[in-house]
Amino acid sequence: MKIAFFDTKEYDKKSFDNINKNFRYSIKYFKERLNLDTVILAKGFEVICAFVNDDIDKNVIEKLYSFGIKLIVLRCAGYNNVDLSSSFRKIHILRVPAYSPYAVAEHTTGLILSLNRKIHKAYYRTKDNNFSINGFLGFDMHGKTVGVIGTGKIAKIFINILNGFGMNVLANDPFPNEEYAKNNNFKYVDLDNLYKNSDIISLHCPLTKDTKYIINKSTIEKMKKNVMIINTSRGPLINTKDLIAALKQHKIGSAGLDVYEEESEYFFENFSEKNIDDDTLARLLTFNNVLITSHQAFFTKEALEKIAETTLQNIDDFFQGNPTPNEICYNCGEDNKNCTKVQTGKCF
C-alpha cells in the first residue's frame, strides 16, 4: 500500500514511522501542501494523507480520481478544507475525530491563565532583570463565569477543569445534554444569556454555516465589558476585523487565539526572517492583550500517537472491508458512526 503524505513536518514523520511498524505501509512524505499545483505528486499512490491546510477542492478531487485514488485520510478532525460534494461516489474521506481532548482543553486553560496573570509578559520582563509587577494585575478565577460554546469531548474536559477552579459555567449547544450538565455542575443557556453573563467565553464548536462568525460585532455588543475571548477550535468562528475593533474600543479585555481565520498561509511555518503580509494578523500581533499560539493546542506526544494510530487504522479498515466509523458521510456531512444509512451500506 503506497501512501502519499502532504504538508509533512518532522514530528509527523517520527510519530507515523513509529506506529507504521505495526502496519508496514509504504509512505512517501512530501513537505508540500496538497493543492492543484502539487496534486501531480500524488500520481502512482493509492492513498492520500492530508492535513488542515491542504486545499482539497473540486479540481484536486477530480485529479486524484483520475489517478485512481479511492481514499483520502485526514490526520485531523476538521474537514472544511475538503469539497465533500465533489468527492461523492468518487473518493472516500476518513478523518481522526478525536485524538487527545485533554491536550486542547489543557491548552485552552493555559491561554486563560496566561492572559489573566500576564505570565507570558512576566517571562520576558524577568529575562531583562526587571522584577516589577506593575501592569500584571489579574483576577481570581474562582467565582467567575465562563461561557462555553459547544459541549463536545474537549469542552466537557475543559468544564471539569473549570469546576476545579470553582468557576461558574454556562454552556450552549444545539443538542444539550441536561442530565450530563446537572451531574457536572454547569447550566445550558441560550447564546444571548451566555454573552451577557460570561466573564470569559471559550469556543469549542465545529465550523459550520451556522457557526461561522458566531463572534461578530452584534454578538460582541451583548457581552460584558472587558470580556476574555478564547478560541482553540476554528478560526472563522470569529470575525477578526470585528474582534480588532472591539479590542481597540476596550470592549474586549483580552483574547487568546490558537486559530485564525486566514491561518493557512502562516501557521505551522517559520516567518521569523520574513514580513507578514497579512495586515489583519499583523495588527492582532500588536495588541499586548492578545495571545496567539500557532494551532498547537493539539500538540502533545499522546495526541500525535493517537493521530498516527487512528489514521493508519482507518486505512487498514477501509481496504480490509471492515466498518469505517470515521468516514465522513457525503449525504449528511456526519461521521459514519452517526449515520444509519452508512452503517447499513446505503449512503455512499
Is 309 an annotated catalytic residue?
A: no
| Residue 226 to residue 280: CA distance in whole angstroms | 21
- To the nearest 10°, the Cα dihedral for 64, 70, 73, 79? 70
Query: Of 92, 95, 204, 295, which is the active-site residue?
Result: 295
**Among the listed residues 59, 111, 106, 112, the one whose alpha carbon sits nearest the alpha carbon of residue 86:** 59
CA 40/CA 58 separation, integer angstroms: 15
C-alpha dihedral, 144 to 150 to 154 to 155, nearest 10°: 20
In 3-state terms, the chain is what percent helix, strand and coil (to 5)? 40, 15, 45
Active site residue 334: no
- Grid cell, residue 31, equals 513537505
Half-sphere exposure of 182 (CA within 13 A, CB side): 3
234 assigned to active site: yes
**Cβ atoms 281, 260 nearer than 8 A:** yes
Spatial distance between the Cα atoms of 173 and 189, rounded to a whole number of angstroms? 9
Cα–Cα distance measured from residue 127 to residue 117, given in angstroms and rounded to the nearest whole number: 17
Determine the length of the chain: 348
Distance of alpha carbon 58 from its chain centroid, rounded? 23
Which of the residues 234, 261, 309, 327 is marked catalytic? 234
- Find the catalytic residue in 107, 204, 261, 263: 263
Residues marked as catalytic: 234, 263, 295
